Amino acid sequence: MAKVTVEGGRSVEVSAGSPVGEALPPDAVCARVDGRLMDLSWAVPDDGEITVRAVTAAEPDGLHVLRHSTAHVLAQAVCDLYPGAKYAIGPPIEDGFYYDFDVAAAFSPEDLEKIEARMREIAAAGQPFRRRELSRDEALRRFEDQPFKREIIEAAEAAEGALGNRFAVYDNDGWGDLCLGPHLPSTSRLGAFKLLSLAGAYWRGDEKRPQLQRIYGTAWATEEDLEAHLHRLEEAERRDHRRLGKQLDLFSFPDELGAGLLVWHPRGGIFRKAVEDFIREIHMRSGYQPVFTPHIAKSVLWETSGHLAKYRDNMYPAMHDENEVDYYAKPMNCPFHVLIYKSQTRSYRDLPMRLFELGTIYRHERAGSLHGLLRVRGGTQDDSHIICRPDQLVDEVLRAFDLTLEIHRTFGFSDFVINLSTKPGEAIGEERMWADATEYLRTALDRSGLEFSVAEGEGAFYGPKVDFHARDAIGRLWQLTTVQCDFALPERFDMEYMGEDNERHRPVMIHRAILGTIERFSGVLIEHYAGDFPLWLAPEQIRVIPVADRHGEHAEALAGRMRERGLRAAVDNSRERMQKKVREAQLMKIPYSVVVGDRDIEAGTIAVRDREGHEVRGVPPEAFIEAAAEESRERRVMGVDLDGLAG
């Protein structure tokens, strides 16, 4: 006999060797024993007492198991329907799971329906997942015709002699998969699932290895959870900046320009200018100096900087000019800023020098990684290089953090995930520099009191960095800010300053971009606000709508007064009905619509409507104009209280 104590519950006596599941409530999907997740069928050892915790699909670990088992059933269904299919790996992922296959013909969306239907049959059949442990040889024999499984077995053994050379196999109804587990007790316990998409994926993520077909799915404990997730996907779709960019007439990517290259339309231009004006203003206020640099430079600059050696894959090919040297479009602004620094002998009194530029860069990103504004080939960074003495570095990094938080707060972001990224495989500079630079950043982070985690090997090729990821309105994280520490470029460019001791010293450099690129940041803002920009960012802030043609002149006068107060106001004088104009203004997500007709002209009032459809009549025009001008000037995220204006 053995005694099983269920955490937060009672103790049960069970006979030795009986499944731990017998002691657990029926909604358990697996058990946590000594911190390890085990199948419900795991046999209780006969001697002692154990404490176990029931894990249900309502908690992350349980959901993970549920998704893992769903992936397993996906592979089973594929093997049923496509004899000879080779199956590779199928882990649970955030919100779902995937499984990679090698099958003769490409899957089509119709195949997904068939596969999903087969999965439902398997679920309905209630097949138990049975765990067995095999020796290496047995396992190899068991997966004789499954090359990916064989490779996993061989690699696992080479790596760690996993499980002491025992390999777990989960079988249900004759079909089995190599898997550490745990799994659900039965396919009948699968939750609500749906196959979502198809994609290619390299075996082991290596582009030199065979490309497999990946099927993505999502799985949840309940139908309601699944519905909620599908709803979130729709919500993300509704916010898609590429769709909104078109709808709001902000920008476009004409084919004629080339992939990843865009033009900003007038409405997008106003929006972008609002972003840039703010960014310039706050940088000037924070002790940065504006600089301007060209878009191309001779190859020698990129040789010195190390870009041709380490960053060439991301650069556009050279421009050849007969009888002249090659030129390259710049993928970064740093070398130019270095040249500005080096234009004269610098004193320790000149430091820190904070050079700021909205610098346009060109990067030949892989064709398949381009994604609207979020990944472009030509973009403009809010780029700064802070050149300082080593003893100033920590303070300068802290100042950069402060500026980062202030800027993001203004744009409506307040929740961040922060990473300290360390030396990558491809890097320049001595080990010593890397260690020092990383230590400075860590010190600054510690002093800032910000929470952070370390991302090994994720640094830039010239130095370690701190990245800020902002959480948006629907909980997604976006990498925006990067603050990078660089001891290498000052060395390469032989940057110096005269110290107090009348000796030459080497400065250090901080690279930092707070928004990242204006393009990418704009994409994030569009998705964050779903196009409903705060007033100060809205291309058209107020649309004045005359009820009938005869009110046009009055509307124009009103809009004129708004413009005098610095507001971006326009009159809709198209020959449409007023209702149509209201609809139009709302579809264009214009923050405020102002309607004027006979009654207003007579009473000297206006009717104000926000883009959510909230409407207030009888508002004194000056009160509204004043409130809106203030909202815009102060770059508020929240709109004015319309009800408070009604007098």
Partner RNA sequence: GCUGGCGUGGCGCAGUCCGGUAGCGCAAGCGACUUGUAAUCGCUAGGUCGUCGGUUCGAAUCCGACCGCCAGCUCCA
* Residues of this chain, 161-180, that bind RNA according to CB under 7 A: 162-163, 167-168, 177-180
Contact 427, 459 (CB under 8 A): yes
Q: Report in angstroms how near the CB of residue 12 gets to RNA at its nearest.
A: 31
The residues in 271-300 that bind RNA, with binding defined as CB under 7 A, are none
Asked if residue 135 binds RNA (CB under 7 A), the reply is no
Asked if residue 202 binds RNA (CB under 7 A), the reply is yes
Q: DSSP labels for 133-188?
A: EEEHHHHHHHTTT-HHHHHHHHHHHHHH-HHHHEEEEEEETTEEEE------SBGG
Q: Which stretch binds RNA (CB under 7 A): 20-28, 346-354, 442-450, 608-616?
A: 608-616
Marked catalytic residue, from 465, 512, 520, 611? 465
Q: Which stretch binds RNA (CB under 7 A): 224-232, 273-281, 364-372, 489-497?
A: 364-372
Q: Report in angstroms how near the CB of residue 26 gets to RNA at its nearest.
A: 26
The count of other CB atoms within 10 Å of the CB of residue 342 is 14
Marked catalytic residue, from 179, 334, 388, 485? 334
Burial degree of 240 (CB within 10 A; 0-12, 13-18, 19+): middle
- Would you say 374 or 388 has its CB closer to RNA? 374
Marked catalytic residue, from 68, 330, 363, 399? 363
Contact 103, 213 (CB under 8 A): yes
Active site residue 383: yes
The residues in 520-539 that bind RNA, with binding defined as CB under 7 A, are none
Active site residue 465: yes
Asked if residue 201 binds RNA (CB under 7 A), the reply is yes
Q: DSSP labels for 243-261?
A: HHHHHTT-EE--GGG-TT-
Alpha-carbon distance of 507 to 504, in angstroms, equals 10
Q: Residues in contact with RNA, total (CB under 7 A)? A: 74
Active site residue 551: no
Name residue 460's beta-bridge partners.
463
Q: Report in angstroms how near the CB of residue 602 gets to RNA at its nearest.
A: 7
Write the CA distances from 221 to 49, 61, 229, integer angstroms.
Answer: 31, 12, 11
The residues in 568-607 that bind RNA, with binding defined as CB under 7 A, are 574-580, 582-583, 586-587, 593, 595-601, 607
Phi-psi region of 597 (alpha: psi -120 to 50; beta: other; left: phi over 0): beta
Alpha-carbon distance of 613 to 636, in angstroms, equals 20
- Would you say 563 or 583 has its CB closer to RNA? 583
Asked if residue 306 binds RNA (CB under 7 A), the reply is no
The residues in 235-254 that bind RNA, with binding defined as CB under 7 A, are 242, 246, 253
Active site residue 381: yes
Residue recorded with tokens 């002699």:
161
The residues in 458-487 that bind RNA, with binding defined as CB under 7 A, are none
Q: Report in angstroms how near the CB of residue 22 gets to RNA at its nearest.
A: 26
Alpha-carbon distance of 171 to 165, in angstroms, equals 19
Asked if residue 62 binds RNA (CB under 7 A), the reply is no
Marked catalytic residue, from 241, 377, 385, 611? 385
Contact 226, 218 (CB under 8 A): yes
Asked if residue 89 binds RNA (CB under 7 A), the reply is yes
Asked if residue 207 binds RNA (CB under 7 A), the reply is yes
Alpha-carbon distance of 394 to 447, in angstroms, equals 9
Q: Which stretch binds RNA (CB under 7 A): 206-214, 275-283, 314-322, 390-398?
A: 206-214
Active site residue 295: no
Alpha-carbon distance of 428 to 257, in angstroms, equals 34
Marked catalytic residue, from 127, 381, 392, 484? 381
Among 191, 213, 193, residue whose Cα is nearest residue 202: 213
Asked if residue 259 binds RNA (CB under 7 A), the reply is yes
Q: Could you give the residue numbers annotated as active site?
A: 334, 363, 381, 383, 385, 465, 511
